[in-house]
Structure 1
Amino acid sequence: MSWSSAKRIVRGAPAAATATQRKTRGAMRPLSAAPRGRDDAGLCRGPFQDKLAVMTRRQFAGAAVSGAPALVSAQETRPNLLLLLTDQQTHTALSCAGNPWLRTPAMDSLAATGRRFTQAYCNYPVCSPSRGSIFTGRMPHETGVRVNGQAIVAGMPTLGELLRAAGYETVYGGKWHVPKPFGDVQGFSRLIGGSSQGADMDAPLASACANWLRGKPKQPFAMVASFMNPHDICEWIRRHKGMREQPKGVNFPPPPANMAHDPDEPDCMRYHRTAGYDKMSEAVGIAQQWRREDMRLYLHDYYRMVEKVDREMGRVLTALRESGLDRNTLVAFASDHGEGMGAHRWVQKAAFYEESVHVPLILNGPGVEPGVDHNLVTLADLLPTFCEAAGVAVPKDLAGASLFGPRERKFVVSELRYGDASREGRMLRTKRYKYVVFNTGARREQFFDLELDPGESFNLAGRSEARGLVGEHRQLMKDWISSRSDDFRLA
């Protein structure tokens, strides 16, 4: 099976280079850029789907003259695959995204020679359901993982199973949380780094992954390094119910400009704020009492947790580079969901606000055209992307689609449940607007113009001037629910 190490356009129009792409921040060297002057191996969807071809120069020239896609096979080895996951990192918590309150040189190095997706969304803003979508390419209502603690339905193909069946050495380290026991992670034949969770897990995980990469592993391999942080902010919030004073001489980030919350939020969200029915709900309740100074301290410490996991990720990338494996390894970096960041006085996750549902996503390595991509993508796209890179047949009827290729999505969808099926919601995000709907309560809908109101401070649902747009998005949601056999009841 052939794989081209050529640069390819990844979902959409060519992207503009940024200052970060011209110069990598920090001391870490970026991963090697893909060799120039080659084209793709024909694995993307389209007229040449499922074809692999080696063309002579004359054939290549003829194709170029005729305008047909040129398929050039440059090497016979399939790429290695490396998925780097953090937990609870919002889309703005990277210095390459322009955030001046933290430094993330490892993540920046991936963006500098890779492709950063600025409009990436999780399929459910809570750990287990999101991870179920990552490892299957399907929506949570399809995987059966609809709250933390549920397992993927039996018989559903997972990323590890698909790649192992295709001859990949499959390695998993760190947090799984889907939640079969660590010794039974679907499709991964080698488990490293332990399964404990918390602040003490990330350093041993990085060491285990780095040592394995330096040990001349069998190729091709597929490794997942699933880090815990900055998830530890959850315990920070519960631990600091009585806020301490800010240390002197430390420059703290400002509280979010959209810190105030809408008293007319949907009833399901008000329930989550006040009921204290689980740890996530309890944390949101704590944040309702915070002063502005408390919010600044929380943001400062959250950013330090992101920097800490960035350092551990950097150790893995350094081992990849020093072993020479970076030249034939496709690296994906993402977070399973975001963090509330105090916006709307919401902390942790379990909300459709941008801070919780909008996540970082970067691709780097063979076949990736460097740049910044503003097309809508989701974490369910990772499985078909890895399958395409590996030359593995992509399962049918996935919610996700490969990030390789020129297709442009009109919208993305995310799911959410508060406690049980009696309180469920769905989010539909188009290029400019966001529509949110819940299945119960007197107040059920939210509608935001993210171009004019990026902080989501003005709910336009119910406003006469937005009635037509709300109706259009409501219909898109109905059509999606029908097409995916979703059991969500849209009133």
Structure 2
Amino acid sequence: SLIKTPNLDWLSQHGVRFTNSFVANSLSGPSRACMLTDKHSYSNGFTDNTKRFDGSQQTYPKLLQKAGYETAIVGKWHLSSNPTGFDYWNILIGQGEYYNPDFIDNGKRVRLPGYVTNITTDLALDWLDKRHNPNKPFCLLIHNKAPHRVWMPDTCDLDAFNDRVYPMPKTFYDDYKGRKAAAKQEMSIIKDMDLVYDLKMADKENEIHSNPELEKWGRANYARMTPSQRAQWDKHYAPIIQKFKKDGLSGRALAEWKYQRYMHDYLRVIRSVDRNVGRVIDYLRQHDMLDNTMIVYTSDQGFYLGEHGWFDKRFMYEESFRTPLLVYYPNGKRGDIEQMVQNIDYAPTFLQVAGVDVPKDIQGVSMLPLLKGEKPKNWRKSLYYHYYEYPAEHSVCRHYGVRTDRYTLIHFYNDIDTWELYDLKKDPEQMHNLYGKPGFEKLTKKLKKELARLREQYNETNVTE
């Protein structure tokens, strides 16, 4: 409803859209580790972004390699250790930069000129065109930086949506009543979104100042641009900066100005992602590969676009627990799939599609029957989630929980010990914590029993609280 994405729409129209797709841990590094290993964070060892991924463990690219597949990854990696299980890897350093980013090309560091989404796609198509052995099947991971913070649009997208005014989420001014952990977070657009780093208000007069560390990085992002890139950037942002200084906004006016600036830049970088997804589809079409290539579009996690007044992710609440998942599977089902799936399900799906045996220690379930249009009677009825990174950036407390088709039960632990219960049918925005309220005792007991079952199933019963 916020942006037209014709190439992502093509995947949905010619494939399937999972309407109940979720992650296991809403944080980029851990989420990637879950995808690679098909195991929850505690089992794969990468519980938060301070960890280093153990590259010696089993991953689906390694299993595909053994089965004769060529494997490659380009773009964001963000797992600290070097990739393993790939015949070719060319990855961004850390989170990566939007302009003129540094890559590590199979161990060699190199700075590449241009815009990161275009470069990532260039590298991917170059590998397909010139490096890939056409006589072998392949698995290629194209990992974009966008739309990660700080949402710096490509120069060709700077003026996109200039006239749009985006509707404010109805929960933007949430007061977090009855939700202690939500009140403790530090990812508020009003309080925590930085003027220079996030909103690009680095003025030439050096009059606008913000968090010193973030301001330093914000000005460094600008400094790494070429003169031509800076000229186009300044043409767009200079008038916005000057008007901002003149208006002297405060209170709600400032909060809502921040929200509009955030939304414009976020959706502009989405535009670059969609455009480059189209380049990949076009390449496959032009090389007669669409009929035998599975295309999967997904993300690390969902992201707050002003809901509850937030940006970022981390919480088990719906906006960041959910993640997009579109799959083009030749000769497979078309339309929506409603069954609950999780990113630990990707690996067994890919392995089954490739005719590779799925190891018994894999914790996810293959989605292949769903892609074929089948409706398995014993499909899962609940999902498990666990977030570990605290104390850390954005101050989201540690928590784990269970979600069914209608209810979510969350336990926040470590420095606090609180529970939250939501009826997703009556309260989809999760504003009203029902835990401890009269009449919900039996439901709470049932959900806690299911949560305990999942924790045992995923070997989490020994996790220290």
Both proteins in one fold, TM over 0.5 = yes
CA offset at residue 153 of structure 1?
3.6
Matched, 1:198 2:97: yes
CA offset at residue 429 of structure 1?
1.3
State the SS of the aligned residue for 1:391: coil
Give the letter aligned to residue 261 of structure 1: D
Structure 1: how far apart are the matches of 2:440 and 2:464?
A: 19
- 2:243 match: none
Taking a change above 3 Å as real, the CA distance of residues 269 and 226 of structure 1, as seen in their structure-2 partners, is same
CA contact (8 A) 2:172 2:306 kept: yes
Residue correspondence of structure 1 range 431-470 to structure 2 within 5 A: 431-440=405-414, 444-470=418-444
- 2:123 match: 208
- 2:176 match: 263
Among 281, 284, 287, the residue aligned to 1:323: 287
CA offset at residue 327 of structure 1?
1.1
Matched, 1:419 2:390: yes
Among 91, 111, 120, the residue aligned to 2:21: 120
CA offset at residue 210 of structure 1?
2.1
Matched, 1:137 2:54: no
Taking a change above 3 Å as real, the CA distance of residues 134 and 186 of structure 1, as seen in their structure-2 partners, is same
State the SS of the aligned residue for 1:359: coil
Taking a change above 3 Å as real, the CA distance of residues 410 and 311 of structure 1, as seen in their structure-2 partners, is same
Q: CA RMSD in A?
A: 3.2
Among 111, 123, 146, the residue aligned to 2:47: 146
Give the letter aligned to residue 188 of structure 1: F
CA offset at residue 273 of structure 1?
2.7
Structure 2: how far apart are the matches of 1:322 and 1:149?
A: 42
Residue correspondence of structure 1 range 207-226 to structure 2 within 5 A: 207-215=122-130, 217-218=133-134, 219-226=136-143
State the SS of the aligned residue for 1:135: helix
CA contact (8 A) 1:137 1:380 kept: yes
Structure 2: how far apart are the matches of 1:249 and 1:177?
A: 33
Among 368, 387, 400, the residue aligned to 2:351: 387
State the SS of the aligned residue for 2:140: strand
Give the letter aligned to residue 346 of structure 1: W
- 2:247 match: none
Taking a change above 3 Å as real, the CA distance of residues 256 and 488 of structure 1, as seen in their structure-2 partners, is farther
Structure 2: how far apart are the matches of 1:154 and 1:350?
A: 24
Taking a change above 3 Å as real, the CA distance of residues 416 and 234 of structure 1, as seen in their structure-2 partners, is farther
Matched, 1:188 2:159: no
Taking a change above 3 Å as real, the CA distance of residues 247 and 172 of structure 1, as seen in their structure-2 partners, is closer
CA offset at residue 385 of structure 1?
0.4
- 1:401 match: 365
Structure 2: how far apart are the matches of 1:372 and 1:104?
A: 17
- 2:446 match: 472
CA contact (8 A) 1:174 1:193 kept: yes
Residue correspondence of structure 1 range 313-392 to structure 2 within 5 A: 313-392=277-356
CA offset at residue 434 of structure 1?
1.2
Taking a change above 3 Å as real, the CA distance of residues 323 and 179 of structure 1, as seen in their structure-2 partners, is same
CA contact (8 A) 1:280 1:348 kept: no
CA offset at residue 274 of structure 1?
8.3
Structure 2: how far apart are the matches of 1:424 and 1:297?
A: 30
Q: Which is further off, 339-348 or 222-231?
A: 339-348
Give the letter aligned to residue 369 of structure 1: K
CA contact (8 A) 2:187 2:310 kept: no
CA offset at residue 490 of structure 1?
9.2
Residue correspondence of structure 1 range 161-310 to structure 2 within 5 A: 161-181=62-82, 185-192=83-90, 197-199=96-98, 200-215=115-130, 217-218=133-134, 219-233=136-150, 250-264=163-177, 266-273=179-186, 291-310=255-274
Q: Which is further off, 185-194 or 417-426?
A: 417-426
State the SS of the aligned residue for 1:380: helix
CA offset at residue 483 of structure 1?
2.0
Give the letter aligned to residue 413 of structure 1: Y
State the SS of the aligned residue for 2:449: helix
Q: What's the CA shift string for 1:381-440, capped at 9, x where partnerless?
A: 110000000111112132211101233210111211232599521131111111111124
CA offset at residue 296 of structure 1?
2.8
Taking a change above 3 Å as real, the CA distance of residues 426 and 488 of structure 1, as seen in their structure-2 partners, is farther
- 1:429 match: 403
Relative to the length of structure 2, the TM-score reads 0.74
Taking a change above 3 Å as real, the CA distance of residues 102 and 327 of structure 1, as seen in their structure-2 partners, is same
Give the letter aligned to residue 291 of structure 1: A
Relative to the length of structure 1, the TM-score reads 0.70
- 2:6 match: 105
Taking a change above 3 Å as real, the CA distance of residues 368 and 427 of structure 1, as seen in their structure-2 partners, is farther
Structure 1: how far apart are the matches of 2:389 and 2:418?
A: 14
- 1:72 match: none
Structure 1: how far apart are the matches of 2:449 and 2:92?
A: 46
CA contact (8 A) 1:280 1:349 kept: no
Taking a change above 3 Å as real, the CA distance of residues 483 and 193 of structure 1, as seen in their structure-2 partners, is closer
Structure 2: how far apart are the matches of 1:151 and 1:247?
A: 38
Q: What's the CA shift string for 1:61-92, capped at 9, x where partnerless?
A: xxxxxxxxxxxxxxxxxxxxxxxxxxxxxxxx
Taking a change above 3 Å as real, the CA distance of residues 111 and 337 of structure 1, as seen in their structure-2 partners, is same
Structure 1: how far apart are the matches of 2:333 and 2:161?
A: 45
Give the letter aligned to residue 450 of structure 1: L
CA contact (8 A) 2:77 2:91 kept: no
State the SS of the aligned residue for 2:282: helix
Taking a change above 3 Å as real, the CA distance of residues 247 and 166 of structure 1, as seen in their structure-2 partners, is closer
State the SS of the aligned residue for 1:252: coil
Q: Which is further off, 170-179 or 439-448?
A: 439-448
State the SS of the aligned residue for 1:372: strand
* Gapped regions of structure 1 (runs ≥ 5): 1-98, 237-245
